[in-house]
Amino acid sequence: MEKREIKSSYSVYRLDELTDETKKLIEYAQSKLKDAYAPYSHFRVGAAVLLENGLMLGGSNQENAAYPLCTCGERVVLTYAGAEYPDVEITSLAVAVKNDSKKVLTPASPCGSCRQIIAEYQSKQKAKIKIYLVAEGDEIYAIDSIHDILPLGFDASSL
């Protein structure tokens, strides 16, 4: 038997350490929190992408009483970008979270489904998507590539 190891890494920033463009992307994601439809979990997700052409797009989570039909903020904005700008590279994604019932200080990582969607878009465009995660605390997590948090992902080479 051979034992293998998987390592993940991410960087932790404060807002004042980021570029103006990244700050704007994060602020846009935070502004989308108000558009979230979260009557069941009260957990709001705002997401924004920066496209290679400089355009920023936003989205938010949309819940449904039939929970499997809920759509995460990340998936909303990524599929919107893919549908409206299919040939424009997504350079970065910012995800902001807020709970109406309690303060969330630690950034939340994308769920497994969102990780897989991010991986698909990254694979499609053959370029990394930088991910920024924010909550209500001072720390901002920066992930260089989806493969840092989905190291054994499923992709077209698996088919």
Res 42: pLDDT: 98
Is there a domain that residue 30 lies in?
yes
CATH number at residue 46: 3.40.140.10
Q: Write down the residue that tokens 């424009």 correspond to.
A: 88
In the chain, how many domains are there? 1
Active site members: 74
Range of the domain at 114: 11-148
112 found inside a domain: yes
Whether residue 23 lies inside any domain: the answer is yes
pLDDT at 124: 96
Q: State the pLDDT at residue 61.
A: 99
Nearest by Cα to 129 from 159, 88, 97 = 88
Nearest to 47 by CA among 67, 68, 83, 74: 74
Dihedral class, residue 136 (left if φ above 0, else alpha if ψ from -120 to 50, else beta): alpha
pLDDT, mean over the chain: 97
Encoding tokens for residue 103?
């303060």
Q: Structure pTM?
A: 0.96
Residue 20 lies in a domain: yes
pLDDT, tens digit, 9 for 90 and up, residues 51-89:
999 999 999 999 999 999 999 999 999 999 999 999 999
The Cα 146–Cα 108 span in angstroms is 14
Report yes or no on 158 lying in a domain: no
Instruction: Grade residue 153 by pLDDT with cuts at 50, 70 and 90.
Output: confident
Task: Classify residue 42: in a domain, yes or no.
Answer: yes
Write the pLDDT tens digit of every residue in 92-151.
999 999 999 999 999 999 999 999 999 999 999 999 999 999 999 999 999 999 999 999
Residue at 4 is within a domain = no
Q: Is residue 80 part of a domain?
A: yes
